[in-house]
Structure formats: structure tokens, C-alpha cells
Amino acid sequence: MQAVAYLHGLNYWGMQSDLYKPIIGFSCGDINGIGIEVLIQALHDNRVLDMCTPVIFASNKSINFYRKTLPDVNFSYSATKDITRINPKQVNIFNCWEEEVSITPGVLNETGGKYALISLQQAVSCLKNGDIDALVTAPIHKKNVYSEGFPYSGHTPYLKASFDAKDVLMFMVASNIRVGLLTEHVPVHQVHEHVTKDNIIRKLQMMHSSLRRDFGIDKPKIAVLGLNPHAGDEGLIGEEEQRIILPAIEEARKQMLVFGAFSADAFFARAQYEQFDAVLAMYHDQGLIPFKSLAIGEGANFTAGLPVVRTSPDHGTAFDIAGKGKASAASTLSATFEAIDIVRRRRAFDEAHSNPIQRRSNRLLQHAVDEKIDE
């Protein structure tokens, strides 16, 4: 038990969360995309090993293939088939497969999807078992992995099902902006069907809870965008704002600081987002176009509402530049550091809001452990 506690950062014994060094898992994504090469670029950074123990779910051969395409990157690792025997001082490769696999960078094929799923499913299994503290998912091609055995449109619905979550929030986060989505991968002509008072209130509640627990903001201020141009112009361009969105905001104000509905174009053009801790957008492109423009390649996708921590870079497989050494690891680094920070903030929040008797018990237990170590 003590060995496990040490491996997982000693916070098991009640130590401060900011000293906790989490184990962060990484799925490799489509092996023909940029996933593995940006992982290599991101994880050779010494800052990463100072803050966490990384575990990439892939194979030595796939890592070595892309390592050869990055001759200027000094990347070393420790290989294992046993998740309980990882090296806390190195990047670890958890071998999910041993067979020879034909890697063809930039090519969309069945092989890329097959091994992306093997990596993801093994990583999620370890996340469920508590072997890793958080998961950073490299990009997959949604159509390439969709099948009878994997009937999901991407990572988020798969994780929602895997952890029996009632609902989740796609939360795009960066140092200068946070944007959550009411609807995610929904065709534009169907968006209005999901713009309901209940959905808006539920997403706002999830966002508010996440801002407090995952981002350490005690009294977050949240902005809500309108659905129609000019936020409906008081019903002249659309009625959803008057009929649905504004009543939802009014109801949510009983629980939190929420404002709107704002006209999306003016809201971002005039930098009004700087006055808020987060923004709830009505649909995918309404939120992601300004987010990706303002985050300047350093944003991350966080899935709020799960009992576990999952982040990902804010880009796709980028087949057009795969294997050419052109891909930037900035977003992968952001997703990694965000995962570390969220794990630590959650632990600090949970400790601060736990039973005071239990907190005292933890401190006494830690004191006893310290004395035992000194002996």
C-alpha cells in the first residue's frame, strides 16, 4: 500500500496537492496521423517529467518509426508491459501490441483506425482501474474508427459511455479564454432542436461546477451566446433567445453568475470574453472558430462532467503534414499541463471540501508515516 501511495504522489496520505506528481496516460491516436510525432516532441521537454510521469499507450516500434523522422529531438523512454512497473523518471511506453504494423504517414486506412482504438481502449481501461490519473487523447479520424464495435462519433461520447456519465461538456480551455459548447458534433440544421431551457441550464451547471473544482475559481462569471445573428434582435431575426435562452439564463442566475444572451460576433470582436471566466456557445463553430483564433494553437479540449480527467489537443490528425516534422506540439503540451493542473486542483478542492474529521485523520496518518520514514 505504501509503495502504491508513493508512486501516485503521496497525496494518498494527505499531503498537499501541489506536491502531487500524477501519472498521465497518452493514447497515440491514428498511427498515420501526427499524434505520435507531437507526443515525442512534447514529452521530450524536461518540464513534463518534472511535473508528471507520462505513459504512452502504443508500441516501441511505432514510437521508433516516428522518432527517426525527428532527428533533432532527443527522446528516450522506458518500455513496459506491466502498468504497475513504470519508471517515474522517464517517459514510459506501455506496449499495447507487438506485431509488425505498416505505418504510412498521411494515409487514411483501416490500420490507422484499428491501432488508434487498441491504444485508446487500453488507456481507458487503465484510467478506470486507477492506474493512471488522467488521459490525454491524441487525434483520431472519426469515420475511420466508427464501426459496429465502436459506434461513437469520437472520444467524448465513448468516454461518456465508458464512465456512465449522464452528460458531459466539451470545454475548450486556454490561458486567455474558455469556451464550452451546448451542442458538439451536430449538423447545423439540427442545432435548434438541442437549444432547450433544460439543456442550457444543465450545461451551465456543469460549467459552473467545473470552473470551481477543476479551475479553482470560487465565483465564476459565465457568458452565454445567442443562437441567431445579433442574438435575435429582440425577436426580429429569431425567437430562440426570447423564448428559450433568456429564460434559461434567468433561471440559472438563482445558482450562479451568468450573463447574456450576447451577439457572438460583437462579443468576440470587442474582446468581451475577457470579462468572463467562461463562455457557453450554442454550437460547434460558433465557439471553436473564435477559440482557435484567440488561443493561437495553444488551446486544449477538456471533457467536463466525467469522474476522471481527460484532455486533448485542439487539432485533428493533420494527415497532410504527418511524418514530415512540421506538426507543432504546442497544443499537446497545453493539453498535458492542463491535465496535470486539473488533477491537482481537483484534489485540492476535494480535500478543502472534505469532512474536517477525515482531514485531521489524514494529517495524523501523514505524521505517523513521516515518523516511520525517519526511523
Comparing 220 with 361, the larger pLDDT belongs to 220
In the predicted structure, residue 168 carries a pLDDT above the cut 90: yes
**Residues 1-165+309-375, CATH architecture:** 3-Layer(aba) Sandwich (3.40)
- CATH number assigned to the domain covering 167-305: 3.40.718.10
CB atoms closer than 10 angstroms to residue 318: 19
Interval 321-325 mean pLDDT: 92
Specify the amino acid at residue 49. Answer: L
The reported pLDDT for the residue numbered 16 is 44
Interval 216-230 mean pLDDT: 95
Looking at the chain, the domain(s) classified CATH 3.40.718.10 span 1-165+309-375, 167-305
Contact yes or no for 325/37 (Cβ under 8 A) = yes
Contact yes or no for 178/143 (Cβ under 8 A) = no
Alpha carbon distances (Å) from 262 to 163, 281, 284: 34, 10, 16
The confidence band for 142, taking pLDDT boundaries of 50, 70 and 90, is confident
In the predicted structure, residue 296 carries a pLDDT above the cut 90: no
The reported pLDDT for the residue numbered 6 is 32
Q: How far apart are CA 88 and CA 369, in angstroms?
A: 21
CB atoms closer than 10 angstroms to residue 44: 18
Specify the amino acid at residue 292. Answer: K
Nearest to 296 by CA among 328, 342, 341: 328
Interval 268-292 mean pLDDT: 96
For 100, residues 6+ apart whose C-beta sits below 8 A from its C-beta are: 61
In the predicted structure, residue 372 carries a pLDDT above the cut 60: no
The reported pLDDT for the residue numbered 365 is 59
Q: How far apart are CA 4 and CA 82, in angstroms?
A: 14
Q: How far apart are CA 166 and CA 221, in angstroms?
A: 24
- Torsion over CA: 204, 210, 215, 217 (sign): positive
| Cell representation of residue 61 | 516500434
